[in-house]
Amino acid sequence: MKEIFSVILFSSLFIFNSCASMSTEQVQTGPSEDIAKNINPFYSDGCSRWPEGTKDKPFAWLGCCFEHDKAYWMGGSDWDRKLADRKLKQCVSKNFSDWMGIVMYLGVRAGGSPSFETDYRWGYGWKYNRGYTPLTKKEREILMSFLPTAEDDIWDYITIPHYEDKE
């Protein structure tokens, strides 16, 4: 059953990803002098369109998704995205199971492209679509100042409607 689910999920995401393409003319580089004005406040939707855990452990891998969302919010190069997706896979595998890490990795690889007009796409923190434009040192520094720190409560940044009451 797990294998069938994984195959169906991967196939669906692959087909969906193949249907949406973006030309380089559609990618904006944006004005570099007003970086902070081009950034949306950081938020996380948890595990975008995926459960945050199991019935017994409802937030089993939510922390992994939160860290992954930080990278997706910032955006950057294709290599940066691949690294973020591998870190998600490793975190979920460590905190839950290898098979869930693989399934989630395949999902984000297929569904997180900057060419999708979604609120969880690669680089969703920018007010315009940057595609895979690498971050400059200055951009990275400014973006890091917008992100929550380890001392911050992640629930101050998570917008999951069905988990309003996290008790």
69: closest CA among 31, 25, 30, 108?
108
Which pLDDT value is given to residue 36? Answer: 87
Which pLDDT value is given to residue 7? Answer: 46
In a domain, 28, yes or no: no
For residue 2, what pLDDT band results from cuts at 50, 70 and 90?
low
Written as one letter, the residue type at 57 is: K
Q: What is the mean pLDDT of residues 19-41?
A: 62
Predicted confidence (pLDDT) per residue in 87-137, tens digit: 999 999 999 999 999 999 999 999 999 999 998 999 999 999 999 999 999
In a domain, 20, yes or no: no
In a domain, 8, yes or no: yes
Q: Which domain holds residue 63?
A: 2-13+40-48+56-163
Q: Judge contact between 115 and 20, C-beta under 8 A.
A: yes
In a domain, 18, yes or no: no
In a domain, 132, yes or no: yes
In a domain, 26, yes or no: no
In a domain, 27, yes or no: no
Which pLDDT value is given to residue 18? Answer: 44
As for how many domains the chain has, the answer is 1
Q: At 126, phi and psi to the nearest 5?
A: -85, 150
In a domain, 25, yes or no: no
